[in-house]
Amino acid sequence: MLADKKHLSRAIAGALVALSITALVLSLVRVEDVPLPPTVKYGMVFDAGSSHTSLFVYQWDADKENSTGVVSQTLACDVQGQGISSYASDPPRAGDSLRECLEQGLEAVPAAEQRNVPAYLGATAGMRLLREQNSSAADQVLAEVTKTMREYPVAFKGAQILTGEEEAAYGWITTNYLLDSFTKYSPRAHAWLRPEAANLLGALDLGGASTQISFVPAGPGLKRNGSSRLTLYGFSYSIYTHSYLCYGQNEVLRRLAKQLIEESPSSSRVAHPCYPEGYHETISLASFRASPCTERPALPDAEVTLEGRGDARGCLAALRKLFNFSACGQSRDCTFDGVYQPPVRGQFIAFSAFYYNFKFLNLTEGQPLAAARDTIQRFCSRSWGDLSASYPQENPARLPKYCASANYILTLLLDAYKFNESSWKSISFQMKAGSADVGWTLGYMLNLTNLLPAEAPAWAKGQAPALWAAAVAFIVLTLALGLAALLLSWL
């Protein structure tokens, strides 16, 4: 009987040893042969501009390159109506205006991932102006936007008003990211390579209420008041950025009209050199109070009719008066209004209203400056009847303003930013790079991925099953060896 017990115990011990060996073998198996698909993260950014709002949905792999996600655009949705700043007198409408695009955005994200999607709203110059004019109204608009966003299954991170310099810097990031200036994958090297710093592009953005310029200047002497320091893909960059509030396209046209009226204070009919011959527009002087860019000095409550003259030269002269070029004196490091700017350098991408105006005039194919000037002058000389017949599909409220907008672009780029006949060739007018829109939102999202932790360190990518299997095998091995030792000691 005792012998049988010893045989049974030895059999059990042998089985446990065999089990231990099996567990040990399992712990050494390369279960990375059973890979998981890469984890994809999503992000949403609302661009709440002065004239309209757009939603962009982005995605990137959780495994990031040098702490910066490789981001691509999944969806773009234009919100119906005007910018959120236009709802200052009825803030709930600002939040409601976002719903249709929010629903479209959620359709672009797997249901299981929606509650983890970071969602942001960035407001630009329109809200900067509203905050300057009525901070309480601006706060109420942002509160209503926040209330609406929190009704949806996303990880809402907040609605904020970007500074002009932030807007400029994020636009610079987007431009260089989309055109592979930061990093580019080399199939031959099987690695991400960094192009030469000289290939970094400058960014020119023209919105409705502000305009921005950003670029890497030559030399190390960048003044602190015009610099932004960014870290992307493991490298740091010092760039010049500046934003000019009230120098966006819509605000410039408003300021131009006010200036022309003030030059003829007793007249109810005022000549407008930038409008086409035969076109007239009646405006209320009280409308100038709607923007801090034109609200002072006070104007009487009256109506004035602006009558087009189709005078390209007079248009340029009138637009130049909106700038204070004398404030710079003889300084080369100055644009206008006494603002510091180092000399422009390198290639530039001009987007937003820069692109849309020149696209309408067929000037986005790299035409030389002389050709651009000639095209704009000939367009400005055409009558309203001619333009209306030639462009029946164009918005009749926008068509008469292309002359003023195009001449403003020439004034801004040549007289203010100091591009010349030679450096004009370095400006490319475009709105897309691949399938993504050029603007500040992608740069914003790209920069924010630095704050979102990767799912796992690089060495563990795709190996979660391996780690779990190894852990289970180790536990089984430990228990088996322990039981075997207990039985042998009992024997």
Q: Which of the residues are catalytic?
A: 167
Pick left, alpha or beta for residue 186 (phi over 0 → left; psi -120 to 50 → alpha; otherwise beta).
beta
Measured at the alpha carbon of residue 8, what is the angle toward residues 6 and 13, in degrees to the nearest 5?
95
Residue 297 preceded by cis peptide, ω within 30:
yes
Is residue 5 within a helix (H) or strand (E), and if so which, with residue range? helix 2-28
φ, ψ (nearest 5 deg) of residue 159: -115, 130
Q: How far is Cα 430 from Cα 171, in angstroms, rounded to an integer?
A: 13
Contacts of 315 (CB under 8 A, 6+ apart): 273, 274, 380, 403, 404, 407
Q: How far is Cα 108 from Cα 79, in angstroms, rounded to an integer?
A: 16
3-state secondary structure 319-337: HHCCCCHHHHCCCCCECCC
Q: How far is Cα 272 from Cα 401, in angstroms, rounded to an integer?
A: 11
Locate all alpha helices (DSSP H) within 215-351, ordered by sequence: 249-262, 312-320
Residue the block writes with tokens 């801004």: 412
Contacts of 471 (CB under 8 A, 6+ apart): none
Under DSSP, is residue 284 helix (H, G, I), strand (E, B) or coil?
A: strand
- Token output for 33: 């042969």
- Token output for 369: 């400056």
Torsion of Cα atoms, 176 then 181 then 187 then 193, to 10°: -130
- Token output for 356: 């849309």
